[in-house]
Amino acid sequence: MLPGRVGVTSVAVIAVGMLLGASTYESVVMAPNYAAQVPQSLEHIRAFFVSTNPGMLFRILAPATQVLLVLAVLLNWRVRGARWWLVGALFALALADVITFTVHYPRNELLFIRPLGEVPVARLTEAALEWGRWNHARTGLLAAAAVSSLQGLSWSWRATVQP
């Protein structure tokens, strides 16, 4: 069985990886479809997102990952190398959430909630393209969080096996 700090840090790394994978999928698969042939593409996507949507995953996984990273920071506070890598991962994850709340949520409202006839097609297309560009930035921050949290795990593991 893994020691507490290494175990929690390992689960935090897995959660960051899940966020990175989901965000990458959205950048590569979903976002290009949002901006293709607006408004028909948005009609199809809205019809597809009947019972759930990607936001449902992020609304659970992102806060859970932040809690896990906070716990990992606290449990590794005395492991100087691990501490700062994990703080860096938490900071990158927080910046990704800033993008989510300030960029994605307002565009989600336009693209997926408001009646399509209320918003000009040019604005919908612009919003979809902006959503995709900003998701690349969010994915980059999540990649940085993944690398940083892996470094933190490495330091945590070394401190456990070589006290």
**What is the 3-state composition of the chain as percent helix, strand, coil, each rounded to the nearest 5?**
85, 0, 15
At residue 162, the pLDDT reads: 76
Tokens of 59: 């609304």
Question: Is-contact 135 23, C-beta < 8 A?
Answer: yes
The answer on pLDDT for 52 being more than 70 is yes
Average pLDDT over residues 50-59: 92
Instruction: Give me the helix-helix angle, 54-75 and 4-25, nearest 10°.
Output: 150
pLDDT (tens digit per residue) in 110-128 = 999 999 999 999 999 999 9
At residue 102, the pLDDT reads: 97
Band of pLDDT at residue 1, cut at 50, 70 and 90: very low
Band of pLDDT at residue 163, cut at 50, 70 and 90: low
How confident is the prediction for the chain on average, in pLDDT? 95
Cα 70 off chain centre by:
16
Answer with the residue of higher pLDDT: 163 or 69. Answer: 69
The answer on pLDDT for 2 being more than 70 is no
The answer on pLDDT for 93 being more than 50 is yes
